[in-house]
Homo-oligomer: A and B are copies of this chain.
Amino acid sequence: MGEMSRGARTDRQAAQELRRRCREGAFLYPTCGEVPGFVQANVVILPREFAFDFLLFCQRNPKPCPLLEVTEPGDPEPRVMAAGADLRTDLPRYRVFERGQFVAEPTDIQDLWRNDFVSFLLGCSFTFESALLAAGLGVRHLEERGPDGLVKNVPMYRTNIACRAAGPFAGPLVVSMRPYRAEQVPLAIRITGRFPGVHGAPVHLGDPGAIGIADLDRPDWGDAVTLRPGELPVFWACGVTPQAALLNALPPIAITHAPGHMFVCDVRDDELQRTPPSPEPDAFAP
């Protein structure tokens, strides 16, 4: 983890403060835009019996399933991403699934907690969106508003690319899409490629039909966004992929964050950036 500046310490307190408000039931909202600059994680909680196969699914499909941390069975504390936090209380809202069926959306899962629960924290594209914005590349869904007046969610699509299965976990790669002009694409690729912990570089671009997407205006999740003349749709592996595989596996119980209601970590977005390459070619070295 990188060195913290004074400003970063203040922000870390903001992350702790947001989690405290979640814990006390005072913050029950989507986390988009909260504690800017800090990592927000997808959360999947499963019985240990299913944990090996799910961990293997993530290991085999690292682009859509970038693991940030896996807890010890029964331990609700994510010691790397947010020491002292409690995954049973510190998310604003959860979703509970039984045999793949949605059954409840509680704001706390203390009553459901079991000593064999393993928690998986997975990277989320919020992290690289900050880096895209910082580089002057717009992020279309953050610029547009839906009919309800709210900022849009990124459009997500089921593809015809199968993930590598692991035990009962299987399913298609799901991608998110952001439009860029051809001359912006190289920078968008290079910036996001520095963040392998949050999906990394795109998996495809240009022709949606080539990966089984029939109509960009009808995303499977999230909101359609405008594709302007001269823009290419650019597709990144998406954190909905493991959720879809999770539900296909029909575990007796599974708990995830509610969509958009992420776990806010103590780690800064830039701490997930791969060490930047040194620019000089090797030929100049001894």
Contact = CB atoms under 8 A, between A and B. Distances in A.
Interface residues of A, number: 32
Given A72-B166, A167-B72, A187 B55 contact: no
Contacts of A229: none
A135 B282 contact: yes
Contacts of A251: none
A258 interface: no
A51 interface: yes
A183 B286 contact: yes
A59 interface: yes
Contact of A187 (B166, B193, B282): B282
Interface string A127-165: 000000001100000000000000000000000000000
Nearest first, the 6 closest Cβ-Cβ pairs linking A and B are A277-B277, A52-B52, A187-B285, A55-B55, A279-B279, A51-B52
A165 to B, nearest CB: 8
A186 B285 contact: yes
Contact of A281 (B60, B193, B279): B279
Contact of A184 (B56, B135, B282, B286): B286
A117 to B, nearest CB: 13
A98 B190 CA distance: 48
A48 B49 CA distance: 11
Contacts of A281: 279
A50 to B, nearest CB: 10
Contacts of A59: 55, 59, 67, 70
Interface of A: 48, 51-52, 55-56, 59-60, 67, 70, 72-73, 135-136, 166-167, 183-184, 186-187, 190-191, 193, 275-282, 285-286
26 contacts: A48-B52, A51-B52, A52-B52, A55-B55, A55-B56, A55-B59, A59-B59, A59-B70, A72-B166, A72-B167, A73-B167, A135-B282, A135-B285, A136-B286, A183-B286, A184-B286, A186-B285, A187-B282, A187-B286, A190-B282, A190-B285, A191-B282, A277-B277, A277-B278, A277-B279, A279-B281
Contacts of A282: 135, 187, 190-191
Scoring A48, A190, A277 by chain B CB atoms within 10 A of each residue's CB, the highest score goes to A277
Nearest to A284: B187
Contacts of A73: 167
Contacts of A55: 52, 55-56, 59
